[in-house]
Amino acid sequence: MSNNNQKAIQTLNHSDASKTMAKLRHQLKQWSNQYYVHDKPSVDDFIYDRAYENLVTLEKKYPDLITPDSPTQRVGGKTLPGFQKVRHQIPLLSLGDVFSKQELSDFVTNLRQEYPDDTEFNCEHKIDGLSISLRYENGRLVQGSTRGNGHVGEDITQNLLTIPSIPRKLTRPINIEARGECYMPKKSFLTLNQYRDQNGESVFANPRNAAAGSLRQLNPAVTARRHLSTFMYNVADYNDLKTNTQSGLLEELRELGFTINPNYEVAHNMDDIDRYVTKCTEQRSKLPYGIDGIVIKTNRLDLQMKIGHTVKDPKWAIAYKFPPEVVQSKVLGIDWTVGRTGIVTPTAKMNQVVLAGSRVSRASLHNPDYLKEKDIRIGDTVNLHKAGDIIPEISEYVPEKRPSNSKPYPIPVKCPSCGAKLVHLDGEVALRCINPKCPAQLIEQMNHFASRNAMDIDGLGPKIVHQLFDKNMVEDVASLYHLTHDQLMQLDKFGEKSTSNLLTAIKNSKSNSLERLLYGLGIRHVGSKAARLISEHFKTMDKIMNADSQSIAQINSMGDIIADSVVTYFRNPYAKQLVSELKSSGLNMKYVGRHRVANSYFNGKRIVLTGTLSKMTRSEASRWLENRGAHVTSSVSKKTDIVIAGTDPGSKYGKAQSLNISIWNEDYFLKQINNQ
């Protein structure tokens, strides 16, 4: 922290301090909510720290100006020193489990024999996450903890405060300790693991481990970037509630401001329970979160208390775990693919099998350590399961079926694409090719360069990129801008029209705003958000190339990791050369803000999106339209030019009809995209 700054802060009078503190609180809150890439490792947010310390200084001087919502009272900007232990006044119980419908039915029968009044069960999804407990005093969150061993857990309040579904303040000023599950949605789990793979880090085995790892680490800023969510389903002490049933409790939790899982049902008999199980089994693969079974609970809370619990589990509830879906297949080979950043990833190729509803013939083996640990060999029969309900994964090889002449799989020492020696960079688990001219990397870089969030070159898909390299028409992304009509005509199935479309798309990309180019370069850790912020800040490529690490790190507490990566990238002579070639091909090197694609049909049009699109998400569609100068708005009015309607459109559709506004379906929209 600069001394001047510190002095200036200390000399503020009460009224100026009050204003400055409000500003600091606002800024700090915004910063801690922001994230740039999905899993940016812990960063030394030095700007954040400085603002935070200024706030602390002022709060020390004027304690009367401390507000309960001050970040100093909540999410710390700093790494936590370690977790405090929390003794749970009322223990968090686990759950007994059964693995067959017969056992489930026995459980119900036995319970009813002993408690004939027990005629209603609340059926719930069993969320694949980890138990948490949230304590509120006067409606304000005062502590959040893990279950630990049920009696003693860890205080993870700072991390839990970063999760949007957890209310800081309830709708009523009551004292309550809510319990439930913290989980990582499937989509976040997938992206997180992909990101970790691409960056040479180890992957999480399932969403439960990923959620636990994200909560039990010492930097709240990392937790914030992991997109966790929660479903609450219990309270420590029922006496605080108005309701007298489990299903009512869920609704009461919802009214208090918690997120509950809406997929619960009250069952009156075994048939109802069976139907619930069947329904969940069918729903499972389509749910946005992982479940590993269902839980049935005696619905009446007074009965729950009467039935009681063992030392470990409640006697009024049971979990039915889905049978694990495991199928066997045979490993035919191991492919090593070189990614954009040179990471070489092994993938097992297997005989095709159907696993949890989808055809599977490949499974990632992530990195050499993983492969060695699992000791997978060619010719092995392996058990396959789906990690977190989504990713096909090899559980283990089947020893009885291993051929007698099998040998450990030799880890390659040379790049499968260019033959360069492979290396491990500073302790990474990943193996890398560090040859900047490696064709496999150049191909992947070009795919990235052309992708929608980068230069958005329509029609330049992976197949065409491959051909361009195969036919030696390009060497790197710079050579894209030298492609000629005659060259493109030689590509498979390319006629006049496709050739001229692609040439136009390439030409149009030259006028893209700087952030697209910066992102397209594929600098490590620089996601599209970071690229935008950096471009917005520095305005020109030259300034970015000459920026020092500190000035980049300062932009919205972006942090050292991104900053160092940018500086290192531009220090490389290849990078300098590449940018100068792009410059001489006439690429725009300035930040021009939103209206990136000139002369678009969509420029200036007011557009509303409704319903679900199948080929892209609505936010991708909005971005695409906005990049062409359209104003994408959320409600239909007389001024709206076009309504784009996917399946199950909402009321906007009717409104558009009544106002006689032109309505496009997705197909038509896609045609227009291709014509652009």
Residues at the annotated binding site for NAD(+)? 45-49, 94-95, 124, 147, 181, 297, 321
By the 8 A CB rule, do 273 and 287 touch? no
Q: 181 vs 476, which CB is nearer to ligand AMP?
A: 181
Residues 6+ away with beta carbon under 8 Å from 441: 338, 339, 340, 341, 342, 417, 433, 435
Q: For residues 415 and 370, what is the distance between their CA atoms, to the nearest angstrom?
A: 19
Task: Pick the stretch among 125-133, 388-396, 620-628, 629-637 that binds ligand AMP (CB under 6 A).
Answer: 125-133
Q: What residue 458 binds from Zn ion, ligand AMP, none (CB within 5 to 8 A, per partner kind)?
A: none
Helix, strand, coil abundance in the chain, percent, nearest 5: 40, 20, 40
CA-atom Rg of the chain in angstroms = 28
Between 245 and 284, how does the x/- string for binding to ligand AMP read (CB under 6 A)? ----------------------------------------
For Zn ion (CB under 5 A), the number of binding residues is: 7
Q: Which of 250, 273, 319, 589 is the binder for ligand AMP (CB under 6 A)?
A: 319
Task: Pick the stretch among 123-131, 302-310, 370-378, 574-582 that binds ligand AMP (CB under 6 A).
Answer: 123-131
Task: Pick the stretch among 61-69, 89-97, 407-415, 447-455 that binds ligand AMP (CB under 6 A).
Answer: 89-97
Residues 6+ away with beta carbon under 8 Å from 659: 636, 637, 638, 640
Q: Which residues share a beta bridge with 335?
A: 347
Residues involved in catalysis:
126
Q: Which of 152, 190, 327, 418 is the binder for Zn ion (CB under 5 A)?
A: 418
By the 8 A CB rule, do 296 and 123 touch? yes
Q: For residues 478 and 449, what is the distance between their CA atoms, to the nearest angstrom?
A: 10
- Binding site residue list: 45-49, 94-95, 124, 147, 181, 297, 321, 415, 418, 433, 438
Q: Phi, psi at residue 160, to the nearest 5°?
A: -65, -30
Q: 574 vs 601, which CB is nearer to Zn ion?
A: 574
Q: Which of 181, 380, 393, 444 is the binder for ligand AMP (CB under 6 A)?
A: 181
Task: Pick the stretch among 91-99, 136-144, 483-491, 527-535 that binds ligand AMP (CB under 6 A).
Answer: 91-99
Q: For residues 57 and 17, what is the distance between their CA atoms, to the nearest angstrom?
A: 10
For ligand AMP (CB under 6 A), the number of binding residues is: 11
Q: What residue 415 binds from Zn ion, ligand AMP, none (CB within 5 to 8 A, per partner kind)?
A: Zn ion
Q: What residue 417 binds from ligand AMP, Zn ion, none (CB within 5 to 8 A, per partner kind)?
A: Zn ion
Between 211 and 250, how does the x/- string for binding to ligand AMP read (CB under 6 A)? ----------------------x-----------------
> Would you count residue 389 as binding ligand AMP (CB under 6 A)?
no
Q: For residues 538 and 590, what is the distance between their CA atoms, to the nearest angstrom?
A: 9
Q: For residues 329 and 336, what is the distance between their CA atoms, to the nearest angstrom?
A: 20
Q: 233 vs 409, which CB is nearer to ligand AMP?
A: 233
Task: Pick the stretch among 57-65, 76-84, 119-127, 433-441 that binds ligand AMP (CB under 6 A).
Answer: 119-127
Report the Cα–Cα distance between both ends of the chain, in Å, rounded: 50
Q: Which residues share a beta bridge with 303?
A: none
By the 8 A CB rule, do 77 and 296 touch? no
> Would you count residue 131 as binding ligand AMP (CB under 6 A)?
yes
Residues 6+ away with beta carbon under 8 Å from 202: 196, 366, 367, 369, 370, 429
Q: Which residues bind Zn ion (CB under 5 A)?
A: 415, 417-418, 420, 433, 435, 438
Q: Which residues bind ligand AMP (CB under 6 A)?
A: 94-95, 97, 124, 126-127, 131, 181, 233, 295, 319
